[in-house]
A and B are shown apart, each in its own frame.
Chain A
Amino acid sequence: MNNPENRLSDYIDDLNAEHEPKKNRGIADTPELEKLLQTARLVRTLREPALPNSGYPQKLAKAIATEIQKNKFTDGQQTINPNIKRDNPNRETTAGRPRRKWALPPVAALAAGILLLAVLASWTGLFNRDVVYAMEKAVAQLSNYHGVLEMRSQNAAGEEWMIRRVELWSEGEKYAVRLDDGTLTVNNGEQKWQVRPQSKEVALLPLVPDPTRHGFDLRDEAKRAKQYPHTVAGSDIVAGRKATKLEILPPGGLAYYLWVDIETNLPIQLQTAMQNALQTTYTFVSFEPNTKIDFQIFAYQPPEGYKLVDKDPGQLVATVEEAAVISSLTPLPPKEAPDRIFAFKDRIVLDYGDTTIVETKAQGAFEPVANSALGTAAGGPLEIWWERLRWRQNGIEIKVEGLRRLELARQIAADLTLPDTGANMVNKAQVKVPVDMEITSASQQQVDRGSSPWQLDPLQVSLTFVNLKVTPEGISGEPEMPMSSFKLVTNNGAEAVVEVANGPVKQVYLQRLVRQDETGIWSVVGYDPR
């Protein structure tokens, strides 16, 4: 095992195991090997760093306190220069290697004792008052807020910079967002507009649907935190407020953190997982919940001298018939009357508060999003994509988005059926394909980072699988079996079957093994030979 190839390989293994390369393995007795070890480390900077286990800062603090106390006792008045390393084989370490002991000197032991007492005293409070439950309650009771939200990015080298700073006002359905450059977007429930000081314009925007709403939203964050497994990972001071740090772990994904203000129980900071060596932190640097908001901010008052830009923001009409005349469509409204109806030149929007229906003229062939689940509606396919349903009926394309999408969609298409998740389609496969879950989980994380998005598309996964069967040495150039040979037969969101027009495989059976939502990758679990 002494040749350079093995030494290099062992060095890589040590780094992959997150250990300091062992001395006998790290010896680079030639400049060439030294260069290769350095190059291996350089390549490794492209991946995300392995972070310590939760509770690390506390453990680190204890070890540092012990070290400082120990230095006081052993060094006396000796001057310490930070440039000179002091070798102390018994030095405490958070890395926890056996060669170093965890021994608490009396002062640190006393401090640890006090800390333990403090934890015990707050024990009842900590566990009876679940942080997420309290946050959910606080968010539900939130009537309004005003705050300044900062978005910062951090790279794998630990460097941080600010991307954006926005001021927010929110009251029920109304909101206003002001960017650094002064651009102000307001939705007051009756109108939505944007004031652009740089071009001296006021743009009227369509009121619904409103994607601006889906940014960093306190309600969404509270909901997600409740939905995913979470643990308390300590406490921090965020923008001068004491906060509980929650580690949230989406199934099969990477952990991210949410800080909940101890005083108000509201989320005040969110840190995404490090993806592609970049991580974003959203912090409310100032935050006033349930406060007095100046309602002038929600009033439509175009500044003097500003040009009005109106790109068909639609008009509020009283009846569906009126909307039909403006849009030249014959709409298919649900039985339940909408709160508001908006008519545009080419579409009608029915607003139900928590749900929006958009109807347009059907054009071209209906092509469901590759990664969507499929059901049926009005005798044709129904696309199920996140919180949206889409299908065609009587020459109209209908999109229903929001909480009550199913209830309202069924009022338009009574025959609407959702995919059968209990069908267990993949059991029918004549040949079973074994799956290595470790590799699948690694692939899922790779896709979460934004790489290889094709794995989210059952057609693309089938294309790769079948073509590798046809040309096992690998696909080079155009695949032998083109995409036009593959057709999605069923997709219930968890399992899918793809039909292949020709070649050695008749049907491919796929499953979302890690996560059964739109972010989950597909794996081939079986096939029927032709």
Chain B
Amino acid sequence: MTVNYLKKAQEGDIKSIEQICMATWEPLYRFIYFKVQNREEAEDITQETYVKTLTYLQEHNISVQDFPCFMKTVALNVLRDRWRQKKRRGVPVNFDEINPQETVNLEQDQQIAITQRMQIENALARLNAKQRTVLDLRIIKGYSVAETAKLVGKTEAAVRTAQYRALQALAKVLDSND
């Protein structure tokens, strides 16, 4: 991505924006998806991040050495703002306690993601087989309550209770690791 592209993109040149998007969208989108865990919101925040980044760079007439890192920092800020808004509306969904001072360090970020994955896998291993199965089917494989009920031979209400208790148990294990 050249400085030229960036300059033109800041002015709203669609071809330059397209070049930048094609070169950078996927790592940014994955980074956001990792936090929000749904496509609709991830697409929305990805777009908002680009608009904010390009507008900010234009108005401050600066160029950044590491564009992807800068965008991820902006994305974190967008996520934090959304969290604050939801909180005001009574929806306190905490996006992994984003630190306002947090900036993105790629190596550190990668290490955190790997450590987090290991922690979750270890915590899951400490649940009993039934708890693991319900979380696997419902959250990892994405089956509906009805499908899960059919697969494990239980009622839909029992599946809802089981997943609630399994997540309670998992949260407890994760807390004890902290």
A13 to B140, CA, bound (A): 12
A63 to B23, CA, bound (A): 17
Known: A68-B51, A81-B56, A93-B44. A23 touches B110 (CB 8 A): no
A85 to B45, CA, bound (A): 11
**Of A4, A6, A79, A446, which is within 8 A of B141 by CB?**
A446
Instruction: Fill in one digit per residue for B70-89: 1 if any A CB lies within 8 Å of its CB, else 0.
Output: 00001001100110011001
Contacts of A4 in B (CB 8 A): 164
Whether the Cβ atoms of B38 and A19 lie closer than 8 Å is yes
CB distance from A33 to the nearest CB of B (A): 9
A21 to B163, CA, bound (A): 18
Whether the Cβ atoms of A49 and B19 lie closer than 8 Å is no
Q: How large is the interface on A (under 10, 10 to 19, 20 to 34, 35 or more residues)?
A: 35 or more
**Of B14, B39, B106, B117, which is within 8 A of A46 by CB?**
B117
A148 interface residue per 8 A CB criterion:
no
A84 to B40, CA, bound (A): 21
Whether the Cβ atoms of B93 and A37 lie closer than 8 Å is yes
| Surface stretch bound by B, among A157-165, A293-301, A370-378, A396-404 | A157-165
Instruction: Fill in one digit per residue for B30-45: 1 if any A CB lies within 8 Å of its CB, else 0.
Output: 1101101111111110
Whether the Cβ atoms of A64 and B50 lie closer than 8 Å is yes
Contacts of B15 in A (CB 8 A): 111, 115
Whether the Cβ atoms of A36 and B171 lie closer than 8 Å is yes
Number of A-B contacts (CB under 8 A): 249
Whether the Cβ atoms of B81 and A64 lie closer than 8 Å is no
A314 to B135, CA, bound (A): 55
Contacts of B46 in A (CB 8 A): 60, 94
Instruction: Fill in one digit per residue for A3-34: 1 if any B CB lies within 8 Å of its CB, else 0.
Output: 01110110011111111110100111100101
| Surface stretch bound by B, among A50-58, A483-491, A492-500 | A50-58
Known: A50-B33, A115-B14. A9 touches B163 (CB 8 A): yes
A224 interface residue per 8 A CB criterion:
no
Whether the Cβ atoms of B90 and A61 lie closer than 8 Å is no
Whether the Cβ atoms of A65 and B12 lie closer than 8 Å is yes
A11 to B15, CA, bound (A): 38
**Of B10, B34, B36, B106, which is within 8 A of A156 by CB?**
B34
CB distance from A307 to the nearest CB of B (A): 39
Which chain A residues (62-88) contact chain B, with CB distance < 8 Å? Answer: 62-65, 67-69, 71-72, 79-85
CB distance from B129 to the nearest CB of A (A): 9
A161 to B170, CA, bound (A): 31
Whether the Cβ atoms of A46 and B92 lie closer than 8 Å is no
A85 to B79, CA, bound (A): 10
Known: A80-B52, A82-B56. A157 touches B30 (CB 8 A): yes
Contacts of A18 in B (CB 8 A): 38-40
Contacts of B36 in A (CB 8 A): 20, 41
**Of B91, B117, B139, which is within 8 A of A12 by CB?**
B139
Contacts of B161 in A (CB 8 A): 5
Contacts of B135 in A (CB 8 A): 43
CB distance from B137 to the nearest CB of A (A): 10
Whether the Cβ atoms of A44 and B29 lie closer than 8 Å is no
Whether the Cβ atoms of B53 and A157 lie closer than 8 Å is no
Which chain B residues (125-153) contact chain A, with CB distance < 8 Å? Answer: 135, 138-145, 147, 151
Known: A43-B139, A44-B140, A156-B113. 14 other contacts (CB 8 A): A5-B160, A12-B139, A16-B144, A18-B40, A34-B93, A42-B120, A46-B140, A56-B25, A82-B53, A95-B43, A111-B14, A154-B30, A157-B110, A442-B141
Instruction: List residues of A whose CB falls within 8 A of some B CB.
Output: 4-6, 8-9, 12-21, 23, 26-29, 32, 34-47, 49-52, 56-58, 60-65, 67-69, 71-72, 79-85, 91-95, 97, 107-108, 111-112, 115, 154-161, 234-237, 277, 438-439, 442, 446
Q: Give the 5 A-B residue pairs with the shortest CB-CB distance, closest first.
A: A158-B30, A159-B110, A18-B39, A157-B113, A61-B18
A to B CB contacts below 8 Å, 13 in the list: A6-B160, A16-B142, A20-B36, A44-B139, A45-B37, A60-B21, A62-B14, A64-B50, A85-B82, A156-B34, A156-B113, A161-B110, A446-B141
